[in-house]
Structure 1
């Protein structure tokens, strides 16, 4: 990938300047970006690119192994030009809060029930996760409610979230570093690790809050039975 992912080093970057590497119709590749491209189950970031007084609405997308910024119209700029990017910060920050909440919930359910994630999605409004937890729905509901209560107690402890990189072979030796039932981290030599000390450690490439207290309160929206290995939890943060 030619684009440096600024959010992997600092998820709080809201504005940045970058050099245009490629323009293909309304799709633009930059040398660096703070836009998350929607991989890993976190909805892609939106915002604007600014050049020469023109403001282009932009949404990130992962295409052909690159981060593309898909604009609302063909741009006037060309490769070599410098543009300014500005995130829709309110949406991004809510996704960060929900993403860190998701890691805590996954850790609680993994530790208590050995449950793994079989699917999920995080938007700025809510998150949903499927877990391969079994039992009747009364038992599943009780497990989810208890997990959310425990996750809220953990969040309020105000734990600093650590981000660092490890060689893939070393990272994959850590118990529970992958909590997805059917997916491994990308086949790259160095993995980005997100750790909530004493709570969770996962290989993860997306944006997170710096401290668990920023999550606020996790609130259950809905619980569904989507079949074997798919008990779905919808939740938000307040």
Structure 2
């Protein structure tokens, strides 16, 4: 029997906290932490978490035969990427100079040391760690019930530079604006950790449980044409 939600297990990720948060917001749903391709591909929806270094995570995906599985899941059902699970959706990362999955156009960059100063000219720490405001760039069902500017929990040293601005669903300031959420068709991915973000994070996960992967009204259907608004 197919599970409702598959959390992809490739040996690197905050899997227990993610699965427990999903069970909390959807107590009637079946949640499986799994590396089984059949379970992942037959699940109703898929969560792709990740922590650690991008090169190590890509190597683990490859070793476990999950690269094509992730690509198929991201093309066919509601799909949520979290933290490194967002970064790996893109084409390339400066972290280890490695290729990502190439599902979305763009690259992953390290916070530049020369730019990491606040408005008092005090140096900001990298990794970016702790609570920060998330500013919604476009409406999306995943933001339902979440106030624009709500605070979420971050832990990362690299950030996504999307290859198409229409992908950007939200941004955060540290100290410059960087993309912290992307959306395209059935894919939604976030740099922050919703499972560690208390009420706002649980609301986002609850939205994912009911979201059917539709496209927000002002998002493009392809990356090569302008949006028809």
Decide which structure has greater strand share.
1
Name the structure where helix makes up a greater proportion of residues. Answer: 2
Both structures adopt the same fold (TM-score exceeding 0.5)? no
User: TM-score, structure 2 length as denominator?
Assistant: 0.28
Larger Rg: 1
